[in-house]
């Protein structure tokens, strides 16, 4: 394929965003950073920054408010990490341009991703920078995966759902399918995170995503129903839980990991009491002969689990990954989550 349309696309984007290539080319080595972390001072962002720093990566910390970013940069720098700060607003694409110069990969924690991810992905494609996010909304995960052709054309790696929810159910489905050795006819997954603190981003994202209602796959078709349809009770992590089919990214990761035509991804009933700091995922696959296999994963505190998965994904993308639009498990396999965290997996209640 001719590269001319791509080059033209980059030039048009740079013109629109007022990027001066001479500035880009003159970025000094002191300003080159491994990871541009968007939303760095947020609840997930701070935990991810610590994980990235523990991997020895250099960081550019970005968000709208300079104060919290500078506090974080000071703390990281004191620990020996190279870190600098950029104030950006995803609503102002022009403010993104300079922040992207000289970075190896962009890791975004700014949700709701269904409406916040587009300008970031567009900039990554235009500038040839790889991208990782922790989206957990079905719309956002599906939307990014639909950009596979564009990502390959631009030679960029895009990874979505690199957080506890989608990635930690995906790892179970990949293991169940490998264990069964056939494409299951039905897959169900559920995630229940126990978190020490919850950010405003999560609250807003859950509120907006639930407006999509219950989304499932039936006979390969997307089915949309009123939230609460298909509610049931599942027992995992030793606890009986009221759950509802939800419009979550896990639905897409479970479908792609299994190839099943019938897929449900459950969320805890938002009105039910939640407690504890342990995070669990559960998955069930039913084979063509009716044989059912289940698996569970225990991952400890949820924000920490997301941080470890996201940081490990970004580290591997930085080390070199195939262009295209991917889920974390598609790109790095079932072991990613257990390599990144101390998660324990059981299959049919036996250690796996």
Ligand X SMILES: NC(=O)c1ccc[n+]([C@@H]2O[C@H](COP(=O)([O-])OP(=O)(O)OC[C@H]3O[C@@H](n4cnc5c(N)ncnc54)[C@H](OP(=O)(O)O)[C@@H]3O)[C@@H](O)[C@H]2O)c1
Q: Which residues bind ligand X (CB under 6 A)?
A: 39, 41-45, 63-65, 88-91, 109-113, 134, 136, 163-166, 199-202, 205, 306
Minimum CB distance to ligand X, residue 307 (Å): 9
User: Of the two residues 143 and 184, which places its CB atom closer to ligand X in the complex?
Assistant: 143
- The CA-atom distances, in angstroms, between 213 and each of 55, 188, 259, 271 are 39, 17, 23, 15
User: Of the two residues 99 and 286, which places its CB atom closer to ligand X in the complex?
Assistant: 99
User: Of the two residues 136 and 258, which places its CB atom closer to ligand X in the complex?
Assistant: 136
User: Of the two residues 164 and 266, which places its CB atom closer to ligand X in the complex?
Assistant: 164
User: What is the rounded distance in angstroms from the CA atom of residue 125 to the CA atom of residue 123?
Assistant: 5
User: Of the two residues 41 and 340, which places its CB atom closer to ligand X in the complex?
Assistant: 41
Residue sitting closest to ligand X (CB): 111
User: Of the two residues 180 and 191, which places its CB atom closer to ligand X in the complex?
Assistant: 191
User: What is the rounded distance in angstroms from the CA atom of residue 274 to the CA atom of residue 293?
Assistant: 27
Minimum CB distance to ligand X, residue 243 (Å): 16
Minimum CB distance to ligand X, residue 299 (Å): 10
Contact 167, 314 (CB under 8 A): no
């Amino acid at each position: 394929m001719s590269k001319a349309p791509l080059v033209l696309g980059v030039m048009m984007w740079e013109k629109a965003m007022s990027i001066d290539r001479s500035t880009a080319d003159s970025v000094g080595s002191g300003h080159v950073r491994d990871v541009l972390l968007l939303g760095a001072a947020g609840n997930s962002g701070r935990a991810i920054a610590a994980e990235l720093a523990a991997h020895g990566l250099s960081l550019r910390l970005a968000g709208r408010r300079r104060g919290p970013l500078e506090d974080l940069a000071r703390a990281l720098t004191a620990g020996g990490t190279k870190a600098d700060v950029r104030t950006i607003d995803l609503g102002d694409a022009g403010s993104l341009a300079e922040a992207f110069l000289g970075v190896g990969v962009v890791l975004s924690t700014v949700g709701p991703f269904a409406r916040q991810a587009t300008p970031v992905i567009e900039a990554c494609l235009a500038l040839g920078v790889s991208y990782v996010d922790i989206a957990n909304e079905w719309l956002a995960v599906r939307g990014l995966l639909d950009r596979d052709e564009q990502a390959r054309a631009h030679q960029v790696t895009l990874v979505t759902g690199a957080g506890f929810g989608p990635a930690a159910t995906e790892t179970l489905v990949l293991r169940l399918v490998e264990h069964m050795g056939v494409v299951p006819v039905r897959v169900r997954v559920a995630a229940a995170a126990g978190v020490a603190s919850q950010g405003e981003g999560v609250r807003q994202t859950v509120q907006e995503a639930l407006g999509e209602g219950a989304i499932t796959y039936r006979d390969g078709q997307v089915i949309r129903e009123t939230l609460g349809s298909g509610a049931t009770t599942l027992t995992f992590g030793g606890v009986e839980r009221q759950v509802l089919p939800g419009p979550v990214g896990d639905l897409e990761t479970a479908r792609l990991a299994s190839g099943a035509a019938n897929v449900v991804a459950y969320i805890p009933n938002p009105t039910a009491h939640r407690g504890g700091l342990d995070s669990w995922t559960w998955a069930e696959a039913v084979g063509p002969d009716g044989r059912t296999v289940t698996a569970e994963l225990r991952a400890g505190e949820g924000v920490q689990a997301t941080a470890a998965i996201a940081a490990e994904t970004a580290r591997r993308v930085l080390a070199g990954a195939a262009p295209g639009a991917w889920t974390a498990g598609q790109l790095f396999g079932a072991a990613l989550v257990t390599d990144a965290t101390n998660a324990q997996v059981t299959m049919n209640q036996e250690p796996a």
